[in-house]
Structure 1
């Protein structure tokens, strides 16, 4: 079923969601009026979700900038630390590893995915599955907390 098409000449009301209305003229889109309280609510809500959104790519789970409460709940700051200088090396995970990068920049190339990689950096909470074989390409020295399950 095709969705209805709305032209730029049709007034659209978003007041139920954001308290705003789109202008009816195509030349006035920049004059969109959104009440301050709606802008603040939307902006802060988006920022919170964006900072704590977890993603999965090529079997690697990443949560960028998790809240301190989550790090405390996991006990991340009590986990052992590991670091390495810029280098490139193969790695096999014999157990699931969860790590939290304090510093560094790494491209992880999981075996079987060609030139595809996952890039991780400071503030990333990362989970590597047991059995994953990959190559770590460390471009900026790494300092991380880690835990094997």
Structure 2
């Protein structure tokens, strides 16, 4: 069992929010996110189709992935970046 201070550098949680909008995004690090609220349609550059993530969903985006975010409902998420 690790002590709390040993775990300190293992995980950094951040919070991000955004109102309805559409914008391109490039992931500069692998990102794991948990949507607390909202709804987003994600289009991965160079691929047909899209997928939707919403409140209660967990998603992982690899470093280097380029997407377009179409935020349909205001988003509030927790996320962490791989070191």
TM-score bracket, shorter-length normalisation: 0.7 to 0.9
- TM-score, length basis structure 2: 0.83
User: Is 2:31 aligned against 1:81?
Assistant: no
TM-score normalised according to structure 1 size: 0.47
**CA displacement 1:70-106 (0-9 Å, x = unmatched):** xxxxxx8x71110000000000001100000000000
Per the TM alignment, residue 118 of structure 1 is displaced from its structure 2 partner at its CA by: 1.2
Q: Does the alignment pair 1:106 with 2:40?
A: yes
Match in the other structure for 2:74: 141
| Secondary structure, counterpart of 1:130 in structure 2 | coil
RMSD: 1.7
Which structure carries more relative contact order (alpha carbon 8 Å, separation 6+)?
2
Once residues 94 and 80 of structure 1 are traced to their aligned partners in structure 2, the CA distance between those partners, rounded to angstroms, is 15
Output the CA distance in 2 between the equivalents of 1:93 and 1:79: 16
Question: Which structure shows the bigger proportion of residues in helix conformation?
Answer: 1
Q: How many residues align?
A: 73
Larger radius of gyration: 1
Which residues in structure 2 correspond to 1:39-118 (within 5 Å)? 79-114=13-48, 116-118=49-51
**Structure 2: unaligned runs, 5 residues or longer:** 1-10
Task: Look up the match of 1:121.
Answer: 54
